[in-house]
Amino acid sequence: MEVIQQVNIIRERTNALRSSGKSIGFVPTMGALHEGHLQLLRASVQQNDVTVCSIFVNPTQFNNPDDYKLYPRTMEQDVALLQSTGCDILFAPVAADVYPQQPLLQFSFGPLEAVMEGAHRPGHFNGVATIVSKLFHMVQPHRAYFGQKDLQQVAIVKQLVQALSFDVELVRFPTVREADGLAMSSRNKRLNPEQRQTSAVLYEALQQAKEKLGRQSLASIKAEAAAYLQSKGRVEVEYFEIADADTLQPLEQVAPGQEVALCIAAFVGPVRLIDNMLVNLNEV
């Protein structure tokens, strides 16, 4: 596996690959890789001639300095995992090269960034859009792979691609979970054993809410989910939302056949976790 740190080198490399007719798959990450990332990488390896994975802990998408400082960094382990998947190129730039000057460009995603993650993490999606735009320009992929766990982020990137006419196909894969249902996340590495055991209640709350869809009002489902989570001790619920699966705007009621997104964010101890579940009312 080739390891590239310089921005000019990755551009030269991917330019040459595209010119020779090679298809490029891209998996952008912040490292601390887990099975969710590896699923995306294996798919890219199968579907493209060359797979590039980036590892870059992007400072502009953290609105909490402590979260940025404490974000897990496990480069040696990550390199071994990437090699095991057949990844061709690791792009691991340094912040000074990615941001040679303070970024001033501001993105607006309208209603999409006014809810859930956008409402609770001001500036987060501006940072996401900035780094994704930069990485797409640097890597020039034909396909880019994202996980459903970050559902709202995928929607933001989709809007970004459409608005700026990036010539890239977005591929979304279902969330990969631990045996107890916890969505795999790099932040899980920060949970101590007790917190890790407690964190399974997020998935339990999503499952319970799914079973109640079509049988109870959405307001009562959300209230009961929040109450259930808070009853489990060290869980601080930030939001539990039932939204339209396409627009991610909150719903007051659902129609037969409508696809909805159950979305949750909560702190387990000091660690903020998010999860979601897509549900079609015809299947409930």
The span from the CA of 6 to the CA of 215, in Å, is 55
As a whole number, the mean pLDDT across the chain is 96
pTM for this prediction:
0.95
Query: What CATH class has 2-173?
Result: alpha beta
End-to-end CA distance of the chain: 45
Q: b or e along 28-48 (b: 16 or more beta carbons within 10 Å of the residue's beta carbon)?
A: bbbbbbbebbbbbbbbbbeeb
Band of residue 284 on the pLDDT scale cut at 50, 70, 90: low
Examine domains 2-173 and 186-277 and report if their fold is the same. Answer: no
Residue 142 annotated as binding?
no
**Residue 140, CA distances (Å) to 7, 29, 173, 219, 276 in order:** 12, 16, 21, 44, 30
Residue 6 annotated as binding?
no
Average pLDDT over residues 34-62: 97
Q: Contact, 175 vs 183, CB < 8 A?
A: yes
In this prediction, residue 282 carries a pLDDT of 77
The tokens of 90 are what? 């690791």
Average pLDDT over residues 80-107: 96
Residue 110 annotated as binding?
no
Band of residue 233 on the pLDDT scale cut at 50, 70, 90: confident
CATH of domain 186-277: 3.30.1300.10
235 backbone dihedrals φ, ψ, rounded to 5°: -125, 120
Band of residue 234 on the pLDDT scale cut at 50, 70, 90: confident
Query: What residues does each domain of the chain span?
Result: 2-173, 186-277
124-139 pLDDT, tens digit per residue, is 999 999 999 999 999 9
5: pLDDT strictly greater than 90: yes
The span from the CA of 260 to the CA of 248, in Å, is 8
Say how many C-beta atoms besides its own lie within 10 A of residue 267's C-beta.
Answer: 14
Residue 185 annotated as binding?
yes
Known catalytic residue at 37: yes
Average pLDDT over residues 67-76: 95
The span from the CA of 250 to the CA of 260, in Å, is 9
Average pLDDT over residues 162-172: 97
Band of residue 248 on the pLDDT scale cut at 50, 70, 90: very high
